[in-house]
Chains A and B, each alone.
Chain A
Amino acid sequence: MIEARDISVAIGGKRIVSHVDFAARPGEVSAVVGPNGSGKTTLLKALTGELAYTGAVTLNGRDLSAMKPVEAATLRAVLPQSTALSFPFTVREIVRLGLIGGRSGVLPGEDARLPERALARVDLDGFAGRFYQELSGGEQQRVQLARVLCQVWAPVLEGRPRYLFLDEPVSSLDVKHQLIIMNIARDFARRGGGVMAILHDLNLTAMYADRIFVLRNGELAAAGPPADVLNDELIERVFDCRLKVGALPSGNMPFVLPQSAA
């Protein structure tokens, strides 16, 4: 389990996250939602050790701050919002970087084929030879996800669950690939791993998350299963927007929900 107690993060003297409790359990997709600037990414960066924090973060019961980078890397992989590259790497070379730690969890001989398998999972079959910088934003995001998947290919390694941290993994994807990526996340959790995902689409969140953490102004506004958390009152309080949960559009206005996917 990823457990964070009383996490606060200040950047440049300004407190971005204050006193947040968070837990991502193995077997579950834990979604973090909230308006822009509510501290979602900052919370993720604290949980991955990228930003200094006060409070305690544990990964499978071990204190994160006492872990070496390589130890943390065997337990969790992190997908940032976007990744700019300084040199012309091919897609395959980027995905291979996920294998640097050497703990993908597949048999040693299979590591070499893992980049292709990971690319196939994110629907980028045949992209291995392309230059990363020549791809579209959505394709780049999926290449990075393939890299992240390589790092923790087996959701459970040596009996210990592993975790995916995904910062807006579907933000620049079309609807088909949003579903593909969210299915990968759910599958990772079903097979025993844990997922923390920052999401903006409340419908996708309701569909895929086992547990939702709602942030507002750096504080935890609500936490729990989607059915308990997503209600009219919370949405108005957190997002400052009067919306009705479960209300159909009037007349014959078309609407398309991810839940309708066959």
Chain B
Amino acid sequence: MAEQSIAGAPGRAMAADGDRSARARFVIVLLCVALAFSVFLSLTAGASDASAVRVVRDWFTGAMPADAALAARDQLIVYDIRIPRVLLGVLIGAALAVCGAVMQGLFRNPLADPGLIGVSAGSSLGAVAIIVLGTTWLAPVTLALGTLALPLAAFFGGLSVTLLLYAIATRQGRTSVATMLLAGIAISALAMALTGVLIFMADDRQLRDLTFWQLGSLAGATWPKIGTVGPVIVLALSAMPFLSRGLNALALGEATAGHLGIPVQRLKYTAIVGVSAAVGASVAVSGGIGFIGIVVPHVLRLAIGPDNRYLLPASALLGASLLLLADSVARTIVAPAELPIGIVTAVAGAPFFLWILLRKRGVIDL
């Protein structure tokens, strides 16, 4: 009763009790600023001393640089290496975080992740098959597709696992989310076993490629790759906001969401196809980057609540920022060499996640 009188006290121009939307909008604005900062940092930091600021300034003012050769080199580094890499980082960070949030809403479980239901494992199998068998059994494929063979194989690997799962879990037009989760674990194990066979067959050079790819990296960022996966990710992510109200209702259970007027089957179908497309495309170019999909939505739920209308855009922004920061660390900490980004996200993400769990014990109810 004391709370009630405080809430009703005059002169308290606050949002209604229990309404976190104002705070959520504020956090989203903050995250926009953070992303701008991360983009700036990623463009300026790197193994080379190329100055992104100078390149942009020259480009704007049209000034002729004093040292033409140096300017040309800087321009090359900024335009052809750093900008595509930043774009790719934004796309993939946003995709991983949003897909994590959507999966968690869909499976009604804060631990769900595209990695959990086998989408990532399927993508990995596709990619590893190209790396190991690309010169022998799958030579016609790699010849026909060139550098696109690996991303496409990863994409179709992820998609076929998802479609298989969907077929297994759907009976009479209803998809059982629990069956899908369990079948996903089984298919994941199978895909990882097949990947293991391929790794066993690989030679030394292939092994090194494999390791690097499995740990995840944005090092392969080029304009053609962005042209391939960018539209897929952008299309998939732009469908997600339309799912947010349905995902909110799904927190009450599938039946109740249906009673509230949500077309639950269509919601599940759209979410699954969207997630497998975005995750398949991400894994295809950058390998397996862990923790973004679990940590980002989780932290944001603590900050702004689980309302997907705010959680999804906020996840995209924070996911993009964090991946750019992790990539900046990966590129500079052992320069001129670079660390796989998956190591950075895991080393930073895992302890942080544990700390959150310990600090908020009791609030998070699995």
Which residues of A pack against B, CB within 8 Å?
45, 48-50, 52, 68-74, 76-78, 80, 83-94, 97-98, 100-101, 112, 115-116, 125-126, 128-130, 133, 151
Contact = CB atoms under 8 A, between A and B. Distances in A.
A8 B239 CA distance: 39
A101 to B, nearest CB: 4
A181 to B, nearest CB: 18
A49 B20 contact: no
B18 A100 contact: no
Contacts of B301: 87-88
25 contacts: A50-B258, A69-B258, A69-B262, A72-B261, A73-B261, A77-B259, A80-B255, A87-B105, A88-B306, A88-B363, A89-B305, A89-B307, A90-B20, A90-B305, A92-B18, A97-B249, A97-B252, A98-B260, A100-B248, A101-B261, A116-B16, A126-B3, A126-B7, A128-B19, A129-B7
B280 interface: no
A88 B261 CA distance: 22
A25 to B, nearest CB: 21
A133 B17 CA distance: 16
B258 A49 contact: yes
Interface string B210-224: 000000000000000
A129 B3 contact: yes
Interface in B1-51: 1, 3-4, 7, 16-20
Interface residues of B, number: 36
B356 interface: no
Binding site secondary structure of chain B: loop
A83 B253 contact: yes
Interface in B236-257: 245, 248-249, 251-253, 255-256
A29 B243 CA distance: 36
B264 interface: yes
A195 B328 CA distance: 61
A115 B262 CA distance: 20
A102 B255 CA distance: 19
Nearest to A126: B4
Contacts of A89: 251, 305-307
A68 B262 CA distance: 9
A80 B306 contact: no
Given A87-B110, A90-B20, A92-B18, 7 more contacts: A69-B264, A70-B263, A74-B261, A78-B255, A88-B306, A100-B249, A129-B7
Contacts of B305: 88-90, 93
Contacts of A116: 16
Contacts of A72: 259, 261
